[in-house]
Every structure is written in C-alpha cells, then in structure tokens.
Structure 1
Amino acid sequence: MVTGAAGRIGRAVLALLAEQGIEANALVLDDPGDLSARLVVTGDATEEKSVRAALEGADAVVHLAAIPTPERNTPLEVFGSNTRATFTVLEEAGRAGVRHVALASSWGVTGLPWTSVEDPHPAYVPVDEAMPAQVEDAYGLSKQADELTARMMARRHGMSVVCLRYPFVGGFDERLRAHAARVTAQPALGARDLWTYLEVRDAARAALLALDVTLPGAHSVHLCAPETLVPYETEDLLRRYHPTTRLLRPLPGRAAPVELAAAERLLGFRARHLLD
C-alpha cells in the first residue's frame, strides 16, 4: 500500500512496482484517475477508516503522504497532520499484520532548511544520522516525531521501519534541471541543503529496497546522489558557505557532504541516476 500515491515519489513507486509485477493499493486525497494501482482509495492518511480500506490485502507499506514544507500551512496543520498520519498508518498497518514499512522522512529533520538562523551550518560534514539537529520549524519537528513514532511502532508490532531522509527530489525534467541551474548560478541557494539531490527513480527504488529489510526496529538513513548538483568543488563550497563546519574527512571533487554508508549497508542503495 502506498500513501501519497499521486505525488512525485508515489507515482514513481507505483510505476516501479508495476514494472516488477507487484500489485499495489493507493491512498490519495484525490483520485487523478491514472494511477497504476489495483485499488485506489480516496481519503486522508490521518483517517483510520481510509487507511484500513487501503490496507486491504497489503503486506507492506510505503508511507509518503505528508504536507511537504512548513511554508504554505500553519505550524499546527503541518505538525498535526504529518504526525497523525504517520501514527495512523503505522498503527493500522501493524494491526493488519504488516511488518515492513518504508517511511518518508526528510533532510528537513536536520533543521537546516527552515531554521530562522540567517546562515545555519551543520556541526560537521559529511552529515550523518547522528548529527545534532537544529530544528525550529513544524515540518522538521514533524519528521523528528515521525521517526520516534517509527521506533515505537516497530517495538509495538514487531515491525521493520526504514525512515528515508530524502533531499530535494525531482525527475530529469524541468524541476530538477531548473533547480540545478538556479543553484549553479547562486550557490548560496543550495547551502542549506548542502547542494544535494536525488532523482525520483532512485527515490522510488530506495523505498522498495527498504521493504526488503528484515532487521527489526526502526532505522533512519540519509539518501542523496553521491555528487552535488553544482559544477564546483565541494570543499570550496564548504569553505565559503559553511566556514565553521568541521570537515571529518576529505570530500574530493563534487562529493556530496553527506554520509551515505548507512543506506549502502542497510539497503544496498546507491543512486544510479545522476545529473550530467
């Protein structure tokens, strides 16, 4: 079952499932009428009845439904909706006997994208899952709460839940290439995201790999392409835009300043689709 199935990553997940001959159920706020799903349920992921209907026959869940930024809704709407949806989906999935869940977390869990600090800096790079967060926005807090909910539900239901910390995600279309062009012209625009990205097909593949994890418990992993989306040396960018950040190891060329080893170990994941 895929929540948020009509979204950018949701559609890619459905497409990949169909390509592999795996039937899927979709939970969407509005049915666009063109989803590659066995069953499409129109409803909100915060609603128990809708989630139960969408779980019919499902043996795994990819939970993507969320308000994706703190910018267009009130803080209460963002935090309340996102955390309630995650609690509802995981609780109903656990009750239905589902034991494998991929959950969309976010780079926003670090707090860097939307903190009010004018020039926020990570404590060190490459950023790993243990780096202290700087969250002061409702979206980042909702993702922190989602990851805590995943831990609780994993214990409660004996589940394996993988929290995928997605960066900026787009296809090789106007969205991703336009973003890369903007950040190339003004590198400061990408400083809060450390100039990272992930192509949508890789985002979908990571979600399906997460469903194969048999290790019980909740696991958080950072995901991104191994190189940045700008044609500049990473260490030069860091010296200019994050001068107080500690460099834990060399980052040659355009190496992404994010530690990707956890995703490689747990999922066997490495991005395949890279901007040229």
Structure 2
Amino acid sequence: MRRVVVTGASGLLGGYVARAVSDDAEVIGLDARPPAVPGDIAHVTASILDPDALEAAFAGADAVIHIAAAANIGSGTPGQIIDLNVKGSWCVLEAARRANVRRVVLCSSDSVMGNTVWKDHFWCPQALPVNEAHPVRPADPYALSKLLAEEAGRSFARRGLEIIALRPVFILFPSMMGEVLARHADPDGYVGPCAGGHAPAGGGPCWHHVDPRDVAEAFRLALRVDWRGYEAFYLAAPSTLHPLPTLDRIAQAFGGLPERIDSDVYAANPHAPMFDTRAARRRLGWRARHDLRADVLGAVPTEDRRSG
C-alpha cells in the first residue's frame, strides 16, 4: 500500500496507528480536530459524516484505516454514538468505494460480544476461548454501533472492497495505567475514573487489555496481507489483568463455565484471555508483544490487593 488515509488520526489510537503505518506508506491523517503533533504527518480536517470531503481526501489512496468514532459508551448519548459510529462508518465505506480505494480496515471492538459494560446483560460464552465464529450479543449502544459498522463493512465487501475488522479489547494507553492500578488495589471498591484517566478502567469481567503498540501493529499488518472479502479478528494481550485465573473468574462472573473449553489454552496460561487471537496470528501474522500483567502486579503491593 503506497498511500493510506487514517481517520481519527488526532485521537489516542489514531496517533499510534498513523505512526506505525508511516513506516510502510505515505499517511494522510483525517480528523475533525487538528493533528496531535502538527507537521508530523499530512492532515485533512474533515468530519466522517461529510461524504464529499471524505471522497476528496480518499482520492488516490490505496487503503483507508477507519478509527474515528465515539470511543466508548460514555462518549455521548445513545443517539449520538449510533449516528457517528454507524452513519460515519457507512460514509467512510461509501466514499472509499466511490474513490476506488481497494481496502478498508475497520476499528471494531470486543464489545460486540456483549460482556464489557452493563453487567445485568452479561452472558456466559458458549465456548472458551471465544473465537470469531462465536455468536455476538451487543447490549449497549456503543457495542451495537460497532457490530452495525462491521455489517456495513461486510456489505461493501460483497461489492468488491477488501474489508478487515479488528476487535481490540480494552486498549491500555499509558494515560489509563493509573485507573488500572487503582482498580487492582481495590477491585470491589473501585469507581472510576478516579486516577487521571479519561474513562474507568475497562476490559470486562476478566479485565482484558491490549497495548496500543500491538493494536497499531495489527493495523499495519492488515494492510500488508493478501486479502479478498471480509473477516473480523479479536486482539488481546496474552494475559488478563484480573487477580483470578480466567476460568475461575468466568465461573465467578457468570455462575458457571461453558461445556466446551480448550483446556490446553488455560493449562498453558491460567490467565489467558477469554478471546481467541489465533485467527489474527494465522491470517495476519499478528501476535501481541506486550503483556502488562506483570507490570500491574508489580506496581500494587500484595497487601493492597483484594479478591475481586
């Protein structure tokens, strides 16, 4: 890919991705906000809800990485989240089609599974680890918006675009480490944000995480692989951050375990994630290089940890 447009390039993840991709291609950042680092990469100021501006920005591009979005359930009203994330994704895909862009890589989320927020709607997986063939049950507006954006991508793949959707778990930016440490010190009492983060520590009941550098690398690899059609991939670090082993935590959170469990996965690493990242390894050549579990455990004195 010679020329790549990154929507949301002024945001937290967008900056990581734009820099990673710039090693291989000319990058143009597109965002409604000014660039985080002026002059770092070429920048177009535009809204993802403006189809004409998008088509002009995409002219001559080989690929689009679509990250711009309402970033979580707290980013707006339900209507605002659906409007920006669903309509915005459709506008990006349609503009890419009209501009003859070959490939679009979508930033989706593990939230499509339905076990990230709104605990009353959590449900026990049918199998562990959860792979991309597992049913999804989005409950909150953000999760629904991500699944609908994926379906839009699937639709455009039928029309000839090459579409890859990446589903990262909670992306642990350095600015969120204080929240993660506060939660780890007091799992039962933690209510965030309380330690300088822009949102509460996330990751669902198992406290999944993935390093933004690893997510950026997944986007870079998604541009390099030979591709046709549509596929989605879960992205997660090798270990969760919850004090309990994964199977124990799932039994605690959901009142039991699924009948189908790949026991070898959790025998090799009792804190392996609920999500299966082996498809990303096989198809994209991706493997998470950073696992922050040891960093979190080492930063919280043993006597400060509670059961969770």
TM-score w.r.t. length of structure 1: 0.90
1:47 aligns with 2:50: yes
Q: Is the 8 A contact 1:184 1:230 kept in 2?
A: no
Alpha-carbon distance change, 270 to 130 in structure 1, aligned in 2, over 3 angstroms: same
Indicate the SS of the match to 2:112.
Answer: helix
Take 1:232 and 1:188, find their aligned partners in 2: how far apart are those partners? 17
Q: Secondary structure at the match of 1:143?
A: helix
Question: Does residue 13 in structure 1 map to residue 48 in structure 2?
Answer: no
Q: 1:45 to 1:121 in 2, by over 3 A?
A: same
Q: Say if 2:89 is the partner of 1:57.
A: no
Residue of structure 2 equivalent to 1:185: 186
2:306 maps to what in 1? none
CA 166–33 in structure 1, closer or farther in 2 if over 3 Å, else same:
closer
- Which residue does the alignment assign to 2:86? 83
Question: Is the 2:63–2:102 contact (alpha carbons within 8 Å) kept by the matching residues of 1?
Answer: yes
Is the Cα–Cα contact under 8 Å of residues 6 and 35 in structure 1 kept in the other structure? no
Distance in 2 separating the partners of 1:96 and 1:239 = 49
1:166 deviates by 1.2
In the TM superposition, what are the counterparts of 1:106-255 in structure 2 within 5 Å?
A: 106-115=109-118, 117=120, 120-156=123-159, 158-171=160-173, 173-176=174-177, 178-183=179-184, 185-186=186-187, 192-246=204-258, 247-250=260-263, 251-252=266-267, 253-255=270-272
**Aligned-partner residue type, residue 255 of structure 1:** A
The structure whose Rg is larger is 2
Amino acid at match of 2:262: R
Alignment of 1:60-71 (within 5 A): 60-71=63-74
- C-alpha separation between the residues in 1 aligned to 2:206 and 2:104? 28
Q: Could you tell me which amino acid in structure 2 is paired with residue 259 of structure 1?
A: D
Map Cα deviations across residues 38-64 of structure 1 (whole Å, 9 max, x no partner): 431112111112212321432111100
> Alpha-carbon deviation of 1:139?
1.3
Q: Which residue of 2 aligns with 1:259?
A: 276
Supply the distance in 1 between the matched residues of 2:185 and 2:229 (Cα, whole angstroms).
Answer: 40
Q: Distance in 1 between matches of 2:155 and 2:136?
A: 20
Alpha carbons of 1:51 and 1:125: their partners in 2 closer, same or farther (altered >3 Å)? same
Question: Which one is further off, 56-65 or 218-227?
Answer: 56-65
Q: Identical aligned pairs, as a percentage?
A: 33
| Deviation, structure 1 residue 237 | 1.8
Q: For the structure 1 residues 27 and 214, does the alpha-carbon distance in structure 2 shift closer, same or farther, using more than 3 Å as the test?
A: same
Letter in 2 for 1:248: I
1:180 touches 1:230 (CA, 8 Å); kept in 2? no
3-state SS of 1:196 partner: coil
Q: Which runs of 5+ in 2 are unaligned?
A: 191-201, 295-308
Q: CA deviation at 1:239?
A: 2.6
Mark the CA change 1:102 to 1:191 in structure 2 (over 3 Å): closer, same or farther: closer
The count of aligned residue pairs is 273
Normalising by structure 2, report the TM-score. Answer: 0.81
> Is the CA contact (8 Å cut-off) linking 1:42 and 1:50 kept in structure 2?
no
Tell me by how many angstroms 1:224 deviates.
0.3
Q: CA deviation at 1:10?
A: 0.5
Task: Describe the SS at the equivalent of 1:153.
Answer: helix
SS class of match (2:108): strand
| 1:226 CA displacement | 1.4
Rounded to whole Å, the distance in 2 between the matches of 1:167 and 1:42 is 28
Structure 1 residues 152-186: Cα deviation after superposition (integer angstroms, max 9, x where no partner): 11111x22211101111123x24135325514631
Letter matched to residue 5 of structure 1: A
SS of 1:117's equivalent in the other structure is helix
SS in 2 for 1:211: helix
Displacement, 1:187? Answer: 7.2
Tell me by how many angstroms 1:124 deviates: 3.1
Deviations 1:226-257 (A, max 9, x none): 11123432222223223333151221321112
Does the 8 A contact of 1:23 with 1:37 survive in 2? no
